[in-house]
Structure 1
Amino acid sequence: MSRPVPPPTRTTPPVPAVIDNAPPRRSKITGGLALFVCAACCALPLLIAAGVLTSAGAAFLEQTLLAVAAGLAALALGMWWLHRRRSAQRAGTGCGCGNTGCGC
């Protein structure tokens, strides 16, 4: 006795993994703070002209504000990179370039 032939099974193509490339909220906030500190540094000449700061105080404040702005910008970029890396690992693409693009 012969058995009936099973119907052909359809295979669905694999769903491409979605990697979140948008910066996270914490990175946007840190980048905004870096922008605010940079704007405050640009306002120092106005504060000197208004007599609020002396030139010695402004020189010290300028160096401090530049260092803080650079640190915040580096921190924001690091958080964005870490977010993209974790998103790529959650999507299962691992680290590197695959069919869906680069994940790290």
Structure 2
Amino acid sequence: MNAASSVNDTTIPAVLLSPAIPAGYETAWSFLARTEPWVLDLMDDPVQGLVVDDRKARRLATEAAVPVVTVAAPDVLRAAGVEDVTAVPAAVWHDVYPANP
């Protein structure tokens, strides 16, 4: 079993969720866990694999003047070197992850 498999076995989705996220906001991890949880299972590294998307959401929200909330990462992400995560309204995540045609 590789490291990604062990992460998937114990962290999808509950351990990837930050408890301090305001209502109506989501992180990359919580958005995918809610909308497409199977994607996390397919990723080699669902922890580091979404860091770029986290930063993209921050950029898109800032450009659109949408409030961004930075919260402490859950323990499993902190253990992988991710100290904080971006929480933005779900509409921003739809821009980061557009629907496939």
TM-score range, shorter chain: under 0.3
User: Who wins on radius of gyration, i.e. which is larger?
Assistant: 1
Judging by fraction of residues, say which structure has more helix. Answer: 1
The normalised TM-score by structure 2 is 0.25
Higher strand share: 2
